[in-house]
Amino acid sequence: MKLAVTAAIPVFADVPKIEATLKVLDEMGLGYIPLGESTVTLSGGESQRLRLSKYINKSQKGTLFVFDEPSIGLHPLDVQVLLHVLQTLIEQGGTVLAIEHDLDLIENADYVIDMGPSGGDRGGQIIASGTPAQVAQEKSLTGQYLHEQREHFHLDD
């Protein structure tokens, strides 16, 4: 039980159900976690990906996944793993709604609704909406940051 998920995959090659589960965990960026690890020791992002693993490789038609800041505290490479997981849920027929400030996640969205103009009592109004490219043309804070990111990385549609 001290093996990490990735190291355990070949050990369970003759047990298809266990091997498949381990492969999903590995694809979700959890390959370094020891098999016997207590869930209370996992970070919020790790716990979230662990919970999501049960939905991978199953039809998600008609399923709505709602995430509140799923990238918070994640390393940029882990954000890329999260994007892959979210895309997999979409490809399996699910719909993903994320409340998010991470520009990489926003840039990869099909549709963005920018709320503001600020937070708290000064928020709650739709400031801009559309594809990331459309929102990047708006004068909102999100639009300005998206515009800068798109220029920096030479992104165009």
Q: Look up the pTM and report it.
A: 0.84
Q: Is the pLDDT of residue 1 over 80?
A: no
pLDDT for 2: 84
What's the 3-state SS for the chain? CCCEHHHHHHHCCCCHHHHHHHHHHHHHHHCCCECCCCHHHCCHHHHHHHHHHHHCCCCCCCCEEEEECCCCCCCHHHHHHHHHHHHHHHHCCCEEEEECCCHHHHHCCCCEEEEECCCHHHCCEEEEEECHHHHCCCCCHHHHHHHHHHHHCCCCC
Q: Is the pLDDT of residue 157 over 70?
A: no
* Whole-number Å distance between alpha carbons of 98 and 33: 26
- What's the chain's average pLDDT? 93
* Whole-number Å distance between alpha carbons of 28 and 50: 8
pLDDT in tens, 62-74: 999 999 998 888 8
**The token pair that represents 106 in the structure block:** 């926003």
pLDDT in tens, 35-59: 989 989 998 878 888 999 999 989 9
Q: What is the mean pLDDT of residues 15-25?
A: 95
pLDDT in tens, 128-154: 999 999 999 999 999 999 999 999 998
Taking CA atoms, 49 is separated from 1, 52, 116, 121, 137, in Å, by 20, 5, 29, 33, 33
- Side chain identity at residue 128, one-letter code: A
Q: Domain ranges in the chain?
A: 1-37, 43-100, 111-157
